[in-house]
Structure 1
Amino acid sequence: MNLPKVIADLVKAQSTFDSVAYANCFSATAIVLDEGKTYNGRTEIQHWISEANEKYKVVMKPVSFEEKETTSILSAEISGTFDGSPVVLNYHFELKDGLIQSLKITV
């Protein structure tokens, strides 16, 4: 699967539970929307993913990728120590200048 570099970097960071590398895939003003909560900027994003990694040990396996106008959508099988594992989630990215400007995670 041919992913943009920053999305491939994010998947790699998730696979190694590297919350710093994960957060560095985002712009300084990026936002993440996940489970009804919003995380603003790299510091909040790093804290969110670090907590999620510790709690759920999430492994991400890309399933499909498509680009639509200004949005890129990665479907990935997510497995870990949470009820309903594994599940396929959709990651809706907006990229700008080689970094993630926004990410919305949906079922």
Structure 2
Amino acid sequence: MTNWDQGTPVDRAELPARINTYLAAHLARDIDTAVAAFAPDATATDEGRTHHGREEIRAWLATAGTEYTYTIEAVGARTIDPDHHVVVHHLEGDFPGGVADLQFKFALRDGAIGALVIEP
């Protein structure tokens, strides 16, 4: 089992290219590129809901966060092992609470994102 609280701090440039590609596409709202970073049978979990496969992930990405206006900034990253990485994002906006630090927990499989969990 992966201990997500462990790991070695790294510069984002040191993360696997697939993660950086996804993050840049996610921020740019480039859904096609973001979805292509996932394995065909990947999962993405956000706000307690898990989306299975690229089509569900595409639908989630098309609507995720659109009801709010916010800024997002990567404030840290760490590598747990070669297949598990965490990127912490700081958000500020008009969502409930107004400020949040979210961990994007990536599990890679065969060079693609096999699972992504976004949680505080």
TM-score normalised by the shorter chain: which range applies? 0.7 to 0.9
Larger radius of gyration: 2
Question: Partners in 2 of 1:42 and 1:93 — Cα distance?
Answer: 15
Instruction: Quote the offset at 1:80 in angstroms.
Output: 4.6
Residue number among 38, 58, 63 corresponding to 1:51 in the alignment: 63
Instruction: Quote the offset at 1:57 in angstroms.
Output: 5.1
Question: Partners in 1 of 2:119 and 2:101 — Cα distance?
Answer: 9
Instruction: Quote the offset at 1:71 in angstroms.
Output: 1.7
1:82-93 alignment runs, 5 A limit? 82-93=95-106
Instruction: Quote the offset at 1:58 in angstroms.
Output: 5.6
1:1-107 alignment runs, 5 A limit? 1=11, 2=13, 3-56=15-68, 59-69=71-81, 70-107=83-120
Instruction: Quote the offset at 1:38 in angstroms.
Output: 0.8
CA contact (8 A) 1:52 1:58 kept: no
| CA RMSD, Structure 1 to Structure 2 (Å) | 1.8
Q: What is the percentage of aligned positions where both structures have the same residue?
A: 28
Instruction: Quote the offset at 1:50 in angstroms.
Output: 0.6
Structure 1: 4+ residue segments shifted above 4 A: none
CA contact (8 A) 1:27 1:42 kept: yes
Which segments of 5 or more consecutive residues in structure 1 lack a partner in the other structure?
Answer: none
Question: Partners in 2 of 1:100 and 1:26 — Cα distance?
Answer: 4
Question: Partners in 1 of 2:53 and 2:37 — Cα distance?
Answer: 11
Instruction: Quote the offset at 1:28 in angstroms.
Output: 0.2
Instruction: Quote the offset at 1:18 in angstroms.
Output: 1.5
User: Residue 99 and residue 56 in structure 1: after superposition, are their counterparts in 2 closer, same or farther (change >3 A)?
Assistant: farther
Bigger shift: 57-66 or 96-105? 57-66
TM-score normalised by length of structure 2: 0.77
Which segments of 5 or more consecutive residues in structure 2 lack a partner in the other structure?
Answer: 1-10
CA contact (8 A) 1:55 1:81 kept: no
